[in-house]
Amino acid sequence: MELADSCDCLHVPCFSSACQGKRNKKYFWVPAIAPVTSVILATLFVYLFRADKQGVQIVNKIKKGVNPSSVHKIYFTGPFVAKGFKIGAVCGMIGLTEAVAIGRTFAAMKDYQLDGNKEMVALGTMNIVGSMTSCYIATGSFSRSAVNFMAGCRTPVSNVVMSTVVLLTLLLITPLFKYTPNAILGSIIISAVIGLVDYEAAILIWKVDKMDFVACMGAFFGVVFKSVEIGLLIAVSISFAKILVQVTRPRTVLLGNLPGTTIYRNTEQYPHARHVPGVVIVRVDSAIYFSNSNYVRERILRWLTDEEDRVSAEGLPRISFLVVEMSPVIDIDTSGIHALEDLYKNLQKRGIQLLLSNPGSAVIEKLQSSKLTEHIGNGHIFLTVADAVRFCTSKSMQEP
């Protein structure tokens, strides 16, 4: 992992070890030794003044050495095998999600690519080997990654050095950490993580998409006040809710003609787009499935009713044609076909002709298989909206 020499504190006076080390390459060692120096000094003060007797919470005794082999404790039979697989599957999904989320955070900050396959292989190998010695489930560590980042680590060699130091610590000097206060460990993590909070990105998300901002805040507060798993669950739940709303309530827009062209665009986006007399043109910006077919039909009829009220109030010619622009409709199911059939029958009762414009190959094949094209009429399916409008105009001129 290659880390750039940027620092978020350059715009204001800053005397932190991380910033000083990144400003001046001669002091690269300052941010590197700051955490361990803090731990040594804090441990020494607690031991000398016996602050643990005054209520300061300390790490207490840590078992010396590494875990013994637990291969003989791995069983693939027994009453708990199914439960173990379920727990393992859930832990694997959460661990992979957490690792990818953390990896993408640093990849975006430092502009490098993250290979998801390699991440899965690394996590799987790490947990398989770790299970042989009763290790806790391992995943990407946000706190340790943040500490590495603030310390100025540049390559994966830092992980090799760190692993070696941890191993030697467990084998030789574990008892020395008995008096290490929990507060200093927390402060190291907090000081590292604070620099990763990108409030400008949150402001941008708020401006771009309010639902994305809600998901962002849900993940943030879930992680801060509960755990990473809860934060991810909140964010995923909100994102799924957003997707469901978009799927069940797809956008439909009214189209108008741009003067001097044969182009038809959304009248809200292009206020100067003109309505075609006697014709209502509606575009559906989504596939039509069982989840949204009724909504699409009702929304089209609502557009039609609104236009009929408008032309009636302005004394314009009555609506005789409804053109449905279907180029964004990438697929349609049986419920969607029934919705179009109901729409066609409803329009027949009102004396309005239904026309379809530019349905995709998958859509037109299903319409033909369901015989709906025969009901509508093959002559009422057009390549472009302009062709459909020309047909409507010629038909209107032929009427007495």
- Which tokens is 37 given? 């120096």
Side chain identity at residue 123, one-letter code: L
pLDDT of 399: 61
Per residue in 249-264, pLDDT (tens digit) is: 888 999 999 998 989 9
Summarised one tens digit per residue, pLDDT across range 29-44 is: 666 677 788 888 888 8
Which sequence spans correspond to the domains of the chain?
17-197, 198-248, 252-398
Helix 29-49 × helix 142-151 angle, to 10°:
120
pLDDT tens profile 111-154 = 777 777 887 888 888 888 888 888 877 777 766 777 777 667 77
Q: What is the 3-state secondary structure (H, E, C) of the chain?
A: CCCCCCCCCCCCCCCCHHHHHHHCHHHCHHHHHHHHHHHHHHHHHHHHHCHHHHCCCECCCCCCCCCCCCHHHCCCCCCCHHHHHHHHHHHHHHHHHHHHHHHHHHHHHHCCCCCHHHHHHHHHHHHHHHHCCCCCCCCCCHHHHHHHHHHCCCCCHHHHHHHHHHHHHHHHHHHHHHHCEHHHHHHHHHHHHHCCCCHHHHHHHHHHCHHHHHHHHHHHHHHHHCCHHHHHHHHHHHHHHHHHHHHHCCCEEEEEECCCCCCEEECCCCCCCECCCCEEEEEECCCECCCCHHHHHHHHHHHHHHHHHHHHHHCCCCCCEEEEECCCCCCECHHHHHHHHHHHHHHHHCCCEEEEECCCHHHHHHHHHCCHHHHHCHHHEECCHHHHHHHHHHHHHHCC
Residue with the bigger pLDDT between 179 and 24: it is 179
pLDDT in tens, 174-216: 887 888 888 888 888 787 777 667 788 889 999 998 888 999 8
Lowest mean pLDDT among 21-25, 62-66, 247-251: 21-25
* 28 or 365, which is more confident: 365
pLDDT at 164 over 60: yes
The larger pLDDT score, comparing residue 74 to residue 383, is at: 383
In CATH, the number for domain 252-398 is 3.30.750.24
157 with 167: CB under 8 angstroms?
A: no
